[in-house]
Structure 1
């Protein structure tokens, strides 16, 4: 860890940070923020060569590693000042909770042991809104809650955990998934759990929160709920996506029985577009009692609203897709 002049005439700490889950959606945004702050980043991934965009970034190293291998964690944590764990899964192979427990709880235990072994005292942990080992409505939320409790109970660790609502932005797996389904579904679009409520938070705001908390002792031991400025039902979000894409679809809201049936059917569909555990998670509203207060008052962020951001990437993607089609046709001709 080094102290270097910042652009405000003061000094700031430049840390060596190992990131787990850094090649994912949130990770790439966060790495960009951390690089701009001058931190040295070490990213662990199963497929190093698949992430060439990270290889060319200054102060970023990317290594082939299985994050579930404790020996690998010990090897790559050895000379680091902080660790950020972004690893999370939304579905598991079987609907029994074991996949979630391995990805969230067992990995967190390994991270704790490796941090303690190498004297690392700073850990940033990605959790989820409504994460709770006792009251979470799904395996996902209960395992996230158990992992969160374990890292906060670990001795000699200064932990900050973040509990976002659904995160949106280019390359997200939420808005883009519904956009893809809307394009593929003609005329009628059956929607499970249409009244589930969300307060979507922008990925850039999440990355800023992580970055600002890194060297801030006031955030040690804190668990922050992260929500955007507005709440929406799932049906309102899907309707907004359809309007943005100028797709004429009639959204058919499904009741509890039909929603459960859809989850049971899609549990076995390729890619699991909707699972039983997703359905259970949607039984709890993903909103914050005090709205976006944390972003504004704790981190000084003016949060981005869903409706101001998604047109920028959904419409751009549509035009880019059309361009790719034209290119393919040109090559055939």
Structure 2
């Protein structure tokens, strides 16, 4: 037993010698090597002295970021990307703990700070959530109104509250605000008009601190887009297409959006800018629905529905949502039907993916549609039937969107 202390000392000495040899090989002392070997260079001033580590989640980037709306679709990818740079991530949430438990693994021990009982009406909570943050990201948004939250409060009043707290903090150096493509003052729906008003609030109050992102409708494993169509294809006898599904969009993969946002943090040139992020393919809603049916190998049972017929049905759901804690189907809300009266494609003369050094993927082939294949009743490889209804068949890697065959398999 007396030999154990000496053995431990010998091991420590050997490890110290190895560490010193590695540092000498790198041409610097251990502490100097750590100060240069961090995982990312985010464009936030005054953090060089705080950076350390070999890179990745166990490093320290020197950045503390607060992500509001962390339980949503986009925010989880940003939390993961920030954690991967060695940043400390503060995640306020108002949902059940089980809804955000996956976010705890986005960083190393102590790197992810969960703040429960978040409310956009609690100014003191907001001030506490950003008290130590250099970076604030706002992903709070609503696709439908509820009896508790209206579009105006979520999209306009909340950004105003957040901007005031940021101004009072005196520490926040950068603010990222998530809006959406189509958010304009003259948009056909209140959701989009209030989104546009929220952008104006952020820009007017925070100026050059803020960067605005306007992604098109986003696809991905947890989306409420292709997943919605696939779920309805399985559960309802016919899927209604408001206005015949003529609305044109440019869906974008969520991972491309996350990559563009992270690239924006690596340069000061993005401060005060607005970026429009859209995928490479323009598709009507009818084409999107047909693509989903073909990918999951179900017969297309979608039917056109005039907006004039859908609006009375939506009015009933809207009334119920205003009186009780429930929401009807998204496509049967008055605001969604009004939103389908416009087109949502990339405008000319604006900053997009190319300005952030990202080449967006097509959302109709390869990895971006991997999750859709699991809706096939016969399993991943063998689906229920071919698009022509002739029985089960196997995906043999045929062309994707726009081709009469089945969707293409993942790219090698």
Q: Partner of 1:280 in structure 2?
A: 338
Matched position secondary structure for 2:298: coil
Q: Do 1:70 and 1:110's aligned partners in 2 also have CA atoms closer than 8 Å?
A: yes
Q: Provide the rounded CA distance (Å) in 2 between the counterparts of 1:230 and 1:291.
A: 18
Give runs of aligned pairs for residues 110-121 of structure 1, distance below 5 A. 110-119=161-170, 120-121=172-173
Task: Give the conservation status (yes or no) of the 8 Å contact 2:297–2:376.
Answer: no
> Following TM superposition, by how much is the alpha carbon of 1:261 offset from its aligned partner in structure 2, in angstroms?
4.2
Relative CO higher for 1 or 2, CA cutoff 8 Å, sep ≥ 6? 1
Partner of 1:330: none
What is the CA-CA distance between 1:191 and the residue it aligns to? Answer: 1.3
1:89 aligns with 2:152: no
SS in 2 for 1:160: strand
Query: SS at 2:66's partner residue?
Result: strand
Which has the greater radius of gyration?
2
Task: Give the SS at the match of 1:19.
Answer: strand
Secondary structure (helix, strand or coil) at the match of 2:70 reads: coil
Q: What per-residue deviation string (whole Å, max 9, x for no partner) do you get for residues 102-150 of structure 1? A: 1111110111111111111310000111212x31211101110111011
CA distance in structure 2 between the aligned counterparts of 1:3 and 1:140, rounded to whole angstroms: 46
Report the Cα distance in structure 2 between the residues aligned to 1:244 and 1:9, rounded to whole angstroms: 40
Partner of 1:300: 357
- Match status 1:192 vs 2:250: no
Change (3 A) 1:4 1:15: farther
Is residue 100 of structure 2 the alignment partner of residue 47 of structure 1?
no
Deviation at 1:319, TM superposition (A): 7.2
1:243 aligns with 2:291: no
Distance 1:111 1:215 in 2: 23
Equivalent of residue 105 in structure 1, options 131, 156, 160: 156
Map of 2:370 onto structure 1: 312
- Structure 1 147/122 Cα, relative in aligned 2: closer, same or farther at 3 Å? same
- On the 8 A contact 1:167/1:203 being kept in 2, the answer is yes
TM-score (norm 1): 0.86
Q: Deviations over 1:278-312 (max 9, x none)?
A: 111122211103499711x2111121111114531
Assess, with a 3 A threshold, how the Cα gap between structure 1 residues 9 and 177 changes in structure 2: closer, same or farther: closer
Quote the RMSD (CA, aligned, Å). 2.8
Aligned-partner Cα distance in 2 for 1:144–1:320: 42
Structure 1 counterpart SS, 2:256 = helix
Distance 1:78 1:320 in 2: 52
Q: Quick one: which of 136, 146, 152 aligns to 2:187?
A: 136
**Aligned length, in residue pairs:** 316
Structure 2 runs not aligned, ≥5 long: 1-33, 43-47, 52-60, 381-412
How far apart are the structure 2 equivalents of 1:98 and 1:46?
A: 13
Instruction: Give 2:401's aligned residue.
Output: none
Question: Which consecutive residues of structure 1, in runs of 5 or more, have no partner in the other structure?
Answer: 323-333
Per the normalisation by structure 2, the TM-score is: 0.70
Q: In the alignment, which residue of structure 1 is the partner of 2:327? A: 271
How far apart are the structure 2 equivalents of 1:7 and 1:142? 39
1:11-48 per-residue CA deviation (whole Å, 9 max, x = no partner) reads: 88641000101121111111111111221100000136
One of 70, 76, 81 as aligned partner of 1:28: 76
Kept in 1: contact 2:230–2:375 (CA 8 A): no
Q: Secondary structure at the match of 2:239?
A: strand
Tell me which stretches of 4 or more aligned residues in structure 1 moved more than 4 Å: 6-13, 290-293, 317-322
Contact 1:91 1:272 in 2 (8 A): no
Map of 2:254 onto structure 1:
203
Deviation at 1:320, TM superposition (A): 11
Once the two structures are overlaid, the 10-residue window that deviates more, 232-241 or 153-162, is 153-162
Considering fraction of residues, name the structure with more strand. Answer: 1
| Residue aligned with 1:154, SS | helix
Where in structure 2 are the equivalents of 1:226-265 lying within 5 Å?
226-264=277-315
Query: Is the CA contact 1:125–1:159 (under 8 Å) kept in the aligned structure 2?
Result: yes
